[in-house]
Structure 1
Amino acid sequence: MRLHAILRAAALAIPLALLALTAGTFATRADEKVTIQIDGAAVPYYLPLYVAQKEGYFKEQGLEVEFLYANAADILNNVAAGNVQFGFPNGDAVISARANGIPVKVVHSTYQRGIGAVLFKNASGIKTPADLVGKKVAVTSYGSPNYIQLQVMMSQAGKSIDDVKVEIVGTGAILDALKSDQVDAIVFSMLRYYALKAEGVDVGMIASDDFLPSHGNVLVTSDSYLASNPQQVKGFIAALDKALKHIVEGDVEKEVKMAIADYAPTFAPQEKVVTEIIKEVFIKTLWQSEDTKANGFGYGNIAGWQKTIDVAAEYKAIPEAFPAADLVVEKPSDL
């Protein structure tokens, strides 16, 4: 009997010891620290990243994520150099970087479209690109993606960029140039359409993406980080996708309030218009498309990316074209 009791006690002790060992392992396991550098500054339009952080979706994937902000060119250089693990720049900058030999990879085409647009007062009579003939149209620089978009629009209308009176106006002054009628139209961000409307300006818009496919912000990493840390990349994408689903199916107003309060407090007076923009632009046309309905968030349409690359080469924005498949992961879920 005594031997039986000893054996029974030993049998019970083994799983308890294993349980204690397992618990200790999980208790001491540290989340992987990664950094994402985001284009520009903290604005509520980066809502999916903020929701993924706030809701613990990154943590569920074993990631501790730090947010930093910089311009797109610096982001891509830092990603390629391994100074940061992830970047969230605009797609045009990514194409330029890859064309110039910087080894970055788009692992999630977060924005399915670009956000460029021609904005104008409706009183101008402008309705189509052909109506820009003879008009003063402002862009921020001759090297900007918006200038290429204007060239393509005019070409598709059977006209030339020479038919437009192009003016260079800095980012900080371009909206005022339109409001004060210094120019007839500007090629800028479609998000400003809603801001102008909120100010009472009777404004119209022609989306650049209807003429030239492009992308806004996309998730990038380096070729080397993707090869050596596939699980971290997959985990980041899974958290981002979960946050996008959370926003699309949830309470947008609530999430916008969170993003403004916790990340972008200077936008507090614009809470209403930001909510409208998230609902009408990001949810309906930027984060989602026919492609994402069939293939999931972040789908990289290779043909669309290739067209953007080819046009960039045609208009000398990059040295030469290259295969989009070398830059873009088509289905993030296949990584």
Structure 2
Amino acid sequence: MHWKKQIVIGLIAVLCFGLVACSPEKSKEKEVTVVLDWTPNTNHTGLYVAQAKKYFQEAGLKVRIIQPGKSTAEQLVASGKADFGVSYQEGVTQARVVGVPIVSIAAVIQHNTSGFASLSTSGIVSPKDMEGKEYGGFGSPVEKAMIQSLMKKENGDINKVKITNIGSTDFLTALKQGIDFYWIYYGWQGVEAEQKGLKLNMIYLSDQAKELDYYTPVLITSESKIKQESSTVKSFMQAVSKGYQFAIDHPDEAADILVKQNPSLDSKLVHQSQKWLSSRYQADAKSWGVQKESVWSGYANWMKSHQLLDGQFDPKKAFTNDFIPQGGK
């Protein structure tokens, strides 16, 4: 009986050792970092939902969401200091032209929701009306080119627009400082302004020209990540797609999740923004995140025609639908 007892104890010990040895290997999560393009907002809701609902964990990932700081999302992803990032089509296009190998793996929002905003009392209802007005910008060459492009279609004169670089001054502050119009994303800044009782006129870029209906924002990774860790990219996109689908289907609950993980956000603003944006994540695409080559080539051609792009750009290499789980190919 004694030797039988020793054998049983021995078998139990071996079994326990096996469980201890194997268990961490089985449950070990791949650590990845996602860098945002700005402070947390409803463009990022799907990421925070995937975190809170444990979609990342189910996909075998331990995800850390960070803000960009001094380095941009494009720089951090390209250098390998972040695995994924939130960017925009223009940024990816310019990066690839100078040899930075980042790739867009999903369109967060299917159509461009940005445009030039002004108070309804400004009288700016078309690009021609920008004459004699003051634009508050952030100092990018694309701003003047964009305004000029829109005005030219209506025989407007860009030289009659005062363009003032106001840096990082926010929209509401800029209005108080006498700025007449400003480039915003309506789903956040526009909603915020109207919540404060301000009535706006919006000139949406997507309404002005087909090539201006570009993807902003997008999710990015590096070419090396795709080549060397495609399974990680696939797992990440499975979780993120579930996160954005949840935000599409349950905007109020998704807004609650975003606020809970970012308590400094204005809950009322988040809920209203989420309500406005949720139907626009996927819009008319066959599934969330899908991108079209024509959109990438169209905006690149527009940039070239306005001397904003110097070099060769291959739209086929700038994006991929290969990691979209639901009918992305």
Q: TM-score range by the shorter chain?
A: 0.7 to 0.9
Q: 1:152 to 1:289 in 2, by over 3 A?
A: farther
What is the match of residue 290 of structure 2? 299
Residues 1:318 and 2:309 are matched in the alignment: yes
Between the aligned partners of 1:129 and 1:288, the Cα distance in structure 2 is 29
Q: 1:189 to 1:245 in 2, by over 3 A?
A: closer
3-state SS, counterpart of residue 173 of structure 2: helix
Between the aligned partners of 1:73 and 1:259, the Cα distance in structure 2 is 24
Q: What is the deviation of 1:244?
A: 1.2
CA RMSD of aligned residues (A): 2.6
What is the match of residue 75 of structure 2? 77
Between the aligned partners of 1:210 and 1:223, the Cα distance in structure 2 is 33
Q: 1:43 to 1:225 in 2, by over 3 A?
A: same
Q: What is the deviation of 1:22?
A: 8.5
Query: What are the superposed Cα offsets for residues 205-235 of structure 1, whole Å, 9 maximum, x if unpaired?
Result: 1112323122222111111110111111111
What is the identity, as a one-letter code, of the residue corresponding to 1:284? S
What is the identity, as a one-letter code, of the residue corresponding to 2:214? S
Between the aligned partners of 1:68 and 1:148, the Cα distance in structure 2 is 32
Between the aligned partners of 1:73 and 1:324, the Cα distance in structure 2 is 25
Q: What is the deviation of 1:298?
A: 0.7
The correspondence for 1:195, drawn from 187, 192, 197, is: 192
Query: What are the superposed Cα offsets for residues 174-209 of structure 1, whole Å, 9 maximum, x if unpaired?
Result: 5323235x2322223322111111111122211123
Between the aligned partners of 1:160 and 1:23, the Cα distance in structure 2 is 73
Q: 1:65 to 1:195 in 2, by over 3 A?
A: same
Q: What is the deviation of 1:167?
A: 2.4
- Name stretches of at least 5 consecutive residues in structure 1 with no aligned partner: 1-16
What is the match of residue 232 of structure 1? 232
Q: What is the deviation of 1:328?
A: 1.0
Q: 1:209 to 1:146 in 2, by over 3 A?
A: farther
Between the aligned partners of 1:255 and 1:66, the Cα distance in structure 2 is 19
What is the match of residue 204 of structure 1? 201
Q: What is the deviation of 1:125?
A: 1.9
What is the match of residue 49 of structure 1? 47
Q: What is the deviation of 1:48?
A: 0.5
Q: 1:36 to 1:324 in 2, by over 3 A?
A: same
Residues 1:126 and 2:120 are matched in the alignment: no
Q: What is the deviation of 1:283?
A: 1.6
Q: 1:276 to 1:215 in 2, by over 3 A?
A: same
Q: Normalised by the size of structure 1, how large is the TM-score? A: 0.83
What is the match of residue 259 of structure 1? 258
What is the match of residue 35 of structure 2? 37
What is the match of residue 283 of structure 2? 289
Deviates more, 1:66-75 or 1:56-65: 66-75
What is the identity, as a one-letter code, of the residue corresponding to 2:184? F
CA contact (8 A) 2:37 2:72 kept: no
What is the identity, as a one-letter code, of the residue corresponding to 2:204? A
Between the aligned partners of 2:275 and 2:20, the Cα distance in structure 1 is 43
Residues 1:148 and 2:139 are matched in the alignment: no
Residues 1:327 and 2:326 are matched in the alignment: no
CA contact (8 A) 2:259 2:270 kept: no
Between the aligned partners of 1:234 and 1:165, the Cα distance in structure 2 is 47
The correspondence for 1:309, drawn from 293, 300, 303, is: 300
Deviates more, 1:223-232 or 1:191-200: 191-200
What is the match of residue 28 of structure 1? 25
What is the identity, as a one-letter code, of the residue corresponding to 1:85? D
Q: What is the deviation of 1:321?
A: 4.6
Q: What is the deviation of 1:278?
A: 1.3
> Within 5 Å, which residues of 2 pair with 1:74-223?
74-143=72-141, 145-172=142-169, 174-180=171-177, 182-190=178-186, 191-211=188-208, 212-223=212-223
Query: What are the superposed Cα offsets for residues 89-121 of structure 1, whole Å, 9 maximum, x if unpaired?
Result: 233222221111101111112222334211111
- Name stretches of at least 5 consecutive residues in structure 2 with no aligned partner: 1-13
Q: 1:297 to 1:249 in 2, by over 3 A?
A: same
Between the aligned partners of 1:284 and 1:140, the Cα distance in structure 2 is 29
Residues 1:275 and 2:258 are matched in the alignment: no
What is the identity, as a one-letter code, of the residue corresponding to 1:33? E
Between the aligned partners of 1:318 and 1:136, the Cα distance in structure 2 is 26
Between the aligned partners of 2:118 and 2:144, the Cα distance in structure 1 is 16
CA contact (8 A) 1:140 1:174 kept: no
Q: Percent identity?
A: 22
Q: Normalised by the size of structure 2, how large is the TM-score? A: 0.84
3-state SS, counterpart of residue 88 of structure 1: strand
